[in-house]
Amino acid sequence: MKPLKSYNPATGDLVGEVPITAPDDIPGIVERSRAAQPAWEALGHDGRARLLMQAAESFLTRADELGRLITLEMGKPLREAIGEAKSLADVKHELEEIQEALAPETFEDGRDRSTVYHDPLGVCAAITPWNFPMAMPAWMVLPALAAGNTVILKPSEETPLCGQAYADVLNEKLPADVLIVVQGADDQGKRLVDSDVDLIAFTGSRETGKHILRAASRDLKRVILELGGKDPMIVLESADLEKAARFAAHNSFRNAGQVCVSTERIFVPEAIADRFEALLVEATASMTQGDGLDEGVKVGPMVNEHQRNHVLSQLEAAVSEGAEVLAGGSGHHDNFVTPTVLTGVTEEMSIATEETFGPVACVTRVESVEEAVQKANATHFGLGAVVFGEDGERTTQVARQLTAGMIGINKAVGGGAGTPWVGARQSGFGFHKSKDGHRQFTQTRVLSKAV
C-alpha cells in the first residue's frame, strides 16, 4: 500500500509521508486497544493524570517545532500554529475538572442510599479534522484517556503528520496500545466506525456526521459530533462600529476562514451599513496574506485545491447572482483565496446557506432587528453566533433570540473555563468541554442499597 503523502498548501512541496493503515488491520487494532484498557483504567485518575501532565510538559518544550509542522502541513500563520501547540500543555485545569466531573456522587432519601459512578466506556475512536490538527485531537483524546478509556485516533488525511506527532508525544509517556493511530482517509474512517469501538467522537462536516450517526445506530454506539456552521453576526445600531468591523474581519479571515465558528453571515441595519462596510473594507486591507512561515502574514492558504475550488465556486456564483465585491474578489492563485468582502448577499445564494469555510465576509443589509434575527436563524446550522451592540439589555435580548449553541456579545463565542462547546440543530450532537461534556466519555452507573 502506498504511503500517505502530505504537501505544503502554500508551496506544493512534500512535507512528509506516513504509512497508510490497511482497513483489514483495524479490527485487530481495536482488539489491542481493548486489551490495554483494563490496566489503564486500573491506574486511577491520579495515575493517568500524572502521565498526561508529563506529556503536557513535552508539548510546551516542543511548541516551536510542532507549530512549524502545523504551518507546513495546513498553512496557518506560524504564530497561530505555535499558539495551538502551546495550548496542548495547558491541561492542569481540565484534568482537575475531569476528576471533579467523574467523582462518585451519593444520594439518600431515607430509604435508599445510591451512588452514581462514571466508569470508562472502553475503546473510543477519535476522528479529527485538519483545521486545528493538534488542538482538536486533544479535545477528544485527553478527556477520553483521563476517564480511563483507550483511544484509537484517526487524524485527517490532510494533516497526518500533525496527528502522528501529537500522538507520538503522548506515547512517550503512555503504556503500549493506550493510544493507537490509524492513518488513511474514508476507507479507514468507515472501517473504524463499523468496528467494535464503544464511542465515536468526530469533528467535521455535517454530511459525514450524518453518515457516522447512521452507521453507529446499528449497534447504538455512543457518539459525539461537532459538525459544520454558518455563523451569523448581527450588528446593532448601538454598536461600536470600528470594533465590530475589526472583529468581523478577524473572525471571517482567521485561519483563512477555515474555522467552525468563522463569521459567515453579517446582518447590518441600512442606517449604519455604509459606515460599517467602509470600516470592514479598511480592516480587510490589513489582513496580509501569504505563506504562513513569512513574518507578518495573517491569512494563509486554503488547505488544498478542493477547498479552494469550493470557495471560489461560491464566490463566482454569488457575484453572478448580484452580490457586490467591496474588497478582494480577485488575485486568487494556487491555494490562496484573497480575503473578500461581499455585500448585497441574499438568502437565495449558496454562499448564504452552505458552509463556505473560506476567507469571505458576506454582508446583508436589513430593515430591522427582527429581520436580522429571522435571517440569522434561517439555517439548518446552529454552532455559534455573535451580536454587537452597546445597549446591554437590548443586545442581550437579541442574543437570546438566536438558535446557536454559543452566542458571543461583542466578542467571539468561546466561553469561560468550565463552559461547554456546543452546537444546536445540525451543528452538533453532544458537545465538548465542561463537566457534562467530560461525562460523555463514560458510562453512568447507579449502585443503590437500602438504608
Active site residue ranges: 226, 260
Residues paired with 385 in a beta bridge: 407
First-to-last alpha carbon distance for the chain, in angstroms, is 62
Q: How many residues does the chain have?
A: 451
For helices 44-61 and 135-146, the axis angle rounded to 10 degrees is 160
CA distance 75 to 360: 17
Residue identified by cell 456546543 is 422
CA distance 141 to 441: 10
CA distance 403 to 407: 9
Q: What values do phi and psi take at 445, rounded to 5? A: -130, 140
Grid cell listed for 224 = 459525539
